[in-house]
Amino acid sequence: MLFNSIDFFYFLPIVFALYWFVFKESLKAQNILIVLASYVFYGAWDPRFLALIIISSIVDFYLGQAIYNSQEQRRRKLYLMASLAVNLGILGFFKYYGFFVDSFVDLLNAFGLQAHKSTLNIILPVGISFYTFQTLSYTIDIYRHQLKPTKDPIAFFAFVAFFPQLVAGPIERASNLLPQFLKNRNFSTEYAVSGLRLMLWGFFKKVVIADRLAQYVDIVYSSPSEFQGIPLIIATFFFALQIYCDFSGYSDIAIGVARLFGFDLMTNFQTPYFATSLREFWQRWHISLSTWFRDYVYIPLGGNRVGEVRKIYNLMVTFLVSGLWHGANWTFVIWGGIHGLILSFETIFRKSKPFNFVPNIIKGLFIFTIVCLAWVFFRANNVTDAFLIFKNTFSGLSIQLTSPLEFENAFRAFIPSLKEFKNVAISLILFGIVEVFLYNKSFHQLVDKWKAPLRWGFYYLIVFWIMYFGAFNRAAQFIYFQF
């Protein structure tokens, strides 16, 4: 079920009414409702894949207790390995089986050995990477003596399948979210209002910005050989904004919906494109994932407690794995490798600080450019297309920049309607102004300081903009659903 769908428009108020008016007096009944509602929400895509969530929940609930109760270290490790094997085994089969088989066949063919691809037509379950990482953090934290297992299976099942963040995060830690299912929750008007504000801004970013920009990005990236110069540059810039508004918009809606039910989810984005280093970018982009890889991959490899060479190795491994997490395609691995490489350079020069004299605005523009260049691999259909985009970007660019007629022709090549594009441009200006004020503060904190007339005027403006300029005809899924 999509947040931006008619089904969700009916689903949310029904669950909200049952939760607060029918089952208000029973914590167990509320948790059961959340489990059932989450399964309905997820099963709307394909009910067959509910079995995977249920299996993961059952396995980790009992293995978590087994790890905690076992006194023998060897046995504890075996239980943890069983949890990793089940969860990563399911994830690996559904997400990476075809990728590795195809890559192996291509490798054999490259050496002149004839091989044929005969992979299964496996459907990727929505959100499998997200809830797999979420439930893995539970057993790993118990193994590390950082968390005690719950004895309430309903609360645990609700934690794993909590519908607001089930399919695209934030990837919550059991230490933060699970205890919230174990204590009574009282309705808070202030909390609900803050949630509605986040939902409103999230829908604006998704429906007005991301889905509108998608139509221009798709035209160019679906046929990169047909474009040169300016269209490729603008499409890449648009994709940077599209993926940010799409994913952070989902996170805002998820956090907002959770607040309607009395839950607090972690912040997942904080104006990442204002970062002046790639390190800072990852402290602001997809925070729940970057901290997950930091705590469960980078630090176990040695983190910063090792020499410079080993530290760089740890960074590269972490980001290559992170790239592969994003998708079963070499484009994602290269994308992760680019980020790992730049972060390695930042690590080498961090102590000497040779660029302290450079103004922050220049640093910010440089980092944004690097991020956009890496997005080319992330968005391209394959590695060949990615390199073709880089090649064609400089073909004819000088002519387009020096000839007004060539510039106009290049611009119109992927902008079907100038009138519609003007609306998109105005929307981007509005979005950019708000983003500037959101630096180091949440949307709720920003709006809450405004006087009532300004605040309500802004609400009506955003609602109007969504209704009249939203791309409702696209019925677009969120980008990160494929991960």
Catalytic residues: 326
The answer to whether 482 touches 232, Cβ cutoff 8 Å, is no
Q: Using CA atoms, how far apart are residues 423 and 425, in angstroms rounded to an integer?
A: 5
Question: How far are the Cα atoms of 93, 128, 225, 230, 238 from residue 134, in angstroms, in the given order?
Answer: 18, 10, 40, 41, 31
Q: CB neighbours of 405 closer than 8 A, spacing ≥ 6?
A: none
Q: Using CA atoms, how far apart are residues 194 and 94, in angstroms rounded to an integer?
A: 37
Q: Using CA atoms, how far apart are residues 369 and 362, in angstroms rounded to an integer?
A: 11
The DSSP output letter for 185 is -
Which amino acid is it at 280?
A: E
Say whether 414 sits in a helix, a strand or coil: coil
The answer to whether 209 touches 285, Cβ cutoff 8 Å, is no
Nearest to 133 by CA among 280, 242, 293, 313: 293
Nearest to 373 by CA among 361, 387, 360, 358: 387
Q: Using CA atoms, how far apart are residues 344 and 332, in angstroms rounded to an integer?
A: 18
Q: Using CA atoms, how far apart are residues 272 and 290, in angstroms rounded to an integer?
A: 13
Q: CB neighbours of 141 closer than 8 A, spacing ≥ 6?
A: 147, 173, 174, 175
In whole angstroms, what separates CA 223 from the centre of its chain? 26
**Cis peptide preceding 170, ω within 30 of 0:** yes
The DSSP output letter for 351 is T
DSSP, residue by residue, 84-149: HHHHHHHHHHHHHHHHHHHHHHHHHHHTT---------PPPPTTHHHHHHHHHHHHHHHHTTS-PP
Backbone dihedral region of 162: left (phi > 0), alpha (psi from -120 to 50 degrees) or beta?
beta
Report helix, strand and coil shares of the chain as percent, to nearest 5.
Answer: 75, 0, 25
